[in-house]
């Protein structure tokens, strides 16, 4: 993507220059104003990703957005009966009441404008009106079922309904609700590169696989949890769809590092460790070369997750020397000071490359961290009811037991 995006930016700039010449020759033609606005919008979008990275808060962008609105307003003033013009201007509006007015006007002129219905549904969803959002998305789906944003919006709406508890008996409808949400998400990722749908689908599938694996382990199986052994045929298909959706989303949004890390997690669940390593290395390279918009704290958290997952995958494929290098980098940045499991993996990697003395020292550090965690959380965990938190706590205890066993054997 590093090579394709600059080329796309150059072609977009050429198109904008050509449309500007057309506008100079035909200033009274509404389509000329609209073409300049569209090409300028595309140029701004590509420029953010090629030259500025994910940090899109820039004074120049504000100026370009104002110019886009001015061009669209000129096109709309010359052709006020065109539904597409009203829809395009609505997407460029920053005031909610103005956006709603433009969308309603677009649908008054053309009630079968499926894209406008989808945008109106997104507007109502952002406003928190789930009833009107649902009606808008259903109308979009009836007019054009191939619009990915409608399926994504339906999934987000149903998830918000489930969170609010406005769908009746939550306990009896929970499984049905999840199936409906998953169905909408699967449709969305199949139709287009929808970032939110791909991320949401991946979270759903990974959570379901983890729950199934924990239940399987609780029935009597022993040893570490292996997600790949818990996959049913349906879960494997959903995981494959999530993988394809994240691939599309990462291609369309190369600086969204959260989706790239999630892609690595999905690859790990499918035992595609080399693909996972490539995803984590990509995140690492972006963090090293750009200033991330999440700020310094968010940057450190992303780096910690990325490096930890990268080192673990390197151990999985037997590249222990590189894993030790990554763990050493994390240790120098003090990312392992409170991570007992990370220190455990670091000790195992050191042991695999023959550094027994260093492995023992790291193992004892892991034991000390695990002791502190056990002493500070035992009382609170006795009353814990959240399954995910219990699972995390169980992994800490099992990791501590493994460290003690390994240290005692040495």
DSSP secondary structure, 120-175, as one string: HHHHHHHHT-HHHHHHHHHHHHHH-TT-HHHHHHHHHHHHHHHHHT-SS-HHHHHH
- Nearest CA to 174 out of 158, 182, 157, 162 is that of 162
- Our CA angle for 64, 67, 72, nearest 5°, is 130
Half-sphere exposure for 346 (CA within 13 Å, toward CB): 28
Residue 363 CA to residue 366 CA, distance in Å, equals 5
Q: Using H for helix, E for strand and C for coil, what is the string for 205-267?
A: HHHHHHHHHHHHHHCCCCCCCCHHHHCCHHHHHHHHHHHHHHHHHHHHCCCCHHHHHHHHHHH
pLDDT recorded at residue 408: 40
Residues 116-174: tens digit of each pLDDT: 999 999 999 988 888 999 999 999 999 999 999 899 999 988 888 887 776 544 444 66
| pTM, two decimal places | 0.68
Which DSSP state fits 334? Answer: T
- Nearest CA to 309 out of 349, 262, 353, 369 is that of 262
Residues 257-315: tens digit of each pLDDT: 888 888 888 888 888 899 999 989 888 887 777 554 444 556 778 888 888 889 989 98
pLDDT recorded at residue 233: 63
Residue 41 CA to residue 30 CA, distance in Å, equals 17
Whether the CB-CB separation of 276 and 250 falls below 8 Å is answered with no
- Nearest CA to 249 out of 298, 204, 189, 292 is that of 189
What tokens appear for 316 in the block? 């999985």
Residue 24 CA to residue 36 CA, distance in Å, equals 11
Is the predicted pLDDT of residue 223 greater than 60, yes or no? no
Is the predicted pLDDT of residue 44 greater than 90, yes or no? no
Whether the CB-CB separation of 50 and 9 falls below 8 Å is answered with yes
Q: Find where tokens 């079922």 sit.
A: 145
Report the mean per-residue pLDDT for the chain. 75
Q: What is the DSSP string of 170-196?
A: HHHHHHHHHHHHHHHHHHHHHHS--HH
Tell me which of 346 and 228 has the higher pLDDT. Answer: 346
Give the three-state DSSP class for 57.
coil
Tell me which of 403 and 323 has the higher pLDDT. Answer: 323
pLDDT recorded at residue 124: 92
Cβ-Cβ contacts under 8 Å for 100 (sequence gap 6 or more): 120, 123
Residues 86-103: tens digit of each pLDDT: 888 787 777 788 888 888
Percent of the residues in the chain that have a pLDDT greater than 70, as a whole number? 73
């Amino acid at each position: 993507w590093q090579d394709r995006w600059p080329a796309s930016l150059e072609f977009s700039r050429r198109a904008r220059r050509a449309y500007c010449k057309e506008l100079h020759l035909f200033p009274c033609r509404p389509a000329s104003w609209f073409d300049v606005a569209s090409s300028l919008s595309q140029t701004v979008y590509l420029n953010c990703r090629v030259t500025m990275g994910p940090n899109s808060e820039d004074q120049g962008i504000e100026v370009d957005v104002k110019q886009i609105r001015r061009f669209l307003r000129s096109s709309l003033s010359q052709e006020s009966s065109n539904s597409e013009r009203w829809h395009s201007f609505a997407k460029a509006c920053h005031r909610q009441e103005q956006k709603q007015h433009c969308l309603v006007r677009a649908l008054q002129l053309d009630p079968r404008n499926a894209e406008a219905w989808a945008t109106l549904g997104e507007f109502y969803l952002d406003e928190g009106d789930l009833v009107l959002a649902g009606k808008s998305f259903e109308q979009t789906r009836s007019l054009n079922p191939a619009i990915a944003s409608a399926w994504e919006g339906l999934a987000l709406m149903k998830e918000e309904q489930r969170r609010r508890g406005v769908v009746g008996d939550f306990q009896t409808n929970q499984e049905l609700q999840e199936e409906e949400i998953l169905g909408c998400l699967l449709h969305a990722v199949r139709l287009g590169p929808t970032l939110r749908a791909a991320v949401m689908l991946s979270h759903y599938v990974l959570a379901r696989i983890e729950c199934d694996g924990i239940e399987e382990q609780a029935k009597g199986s022993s040893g570490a949890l292996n997600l790949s052994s818990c996959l049913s045929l349906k879960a494997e298909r959903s995981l494959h769809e999530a993988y394809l959706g994240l691939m599309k989303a990462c291609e369309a949004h190369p600086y969204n590092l959260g989706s790239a890390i999630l892609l690595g997690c999905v690859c790990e669940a499918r035992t595609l460790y080399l693909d996972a390593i490539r995803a984590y290395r990509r995140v690492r390279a972006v963090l090293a070369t750009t200033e991330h918009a999440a700020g310094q704290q968010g940057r450190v958290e992303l780096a910690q997750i990325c490096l930890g997952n990268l080192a673990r995958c390197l151990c999985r494929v037997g590249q222990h020397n590189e894993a030790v290098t990554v763990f050493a980098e994390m240790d120098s940045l003090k990312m392992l000071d409170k991570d007992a499991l990370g220190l455990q993996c670091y000790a195992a990697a050191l042991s695999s490359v023959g550094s027994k003395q260093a492995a023992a020292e790291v193992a004892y550090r892991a034991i000390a961290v695990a002791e502190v965690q056990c002493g500070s959380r035992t009382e609170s965990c006795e009353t814990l009811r959240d399954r995910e938190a219990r699972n995390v706590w169980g992994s800490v205890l099992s990791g501590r037991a493994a460290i003690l066993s390994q240290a005692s054997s040495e």
